[in-house]
């Protein structure tokens, strides 16, 4: 699953991700480039920070 997190996070963009804010922040800091960028997009677009 590690190498597919970016795709999974991309699919979450259409959903309310407020309940997984801490997880998204962690992925943005420590995930690979694709996963980190997708997490950043969700955090910004959904105004979670």
Per-residue pLDDT of the chain (49 residues; tens, 9 = 90+): 567 888 999 999 999 999 999 999 999 999 899 999 999 999 999 999 8
CA distance 49 to 32: 20
* Closest listed residue to residue 10, CA positions, set 31, 30, 22: 31
Q: Is 20 exposed, middle or buried (0-12, 13-18, 19+ CB in 10 A)?
A: middle
At residue 1, the pLDDT reads 58
* Closest listed residue to residue 46, CA positions, set 6, 14, 8: 14
* Closest listed residue to residue 41, CA positions, set 1, 3, 33, 2: 33
CA distance 46 to 2: 24
């Amino acid at each position: 699953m590690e190498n597919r997190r970016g795709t999974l996070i991309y699919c979450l963009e259409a959903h309310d991700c407020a309940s997984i804010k801490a997880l998204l922040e962690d992925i943005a800091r420590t995930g690979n480039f694709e996963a980190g960028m997708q997490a950043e997009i969700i955090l910004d677009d959904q105004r979670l920070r």
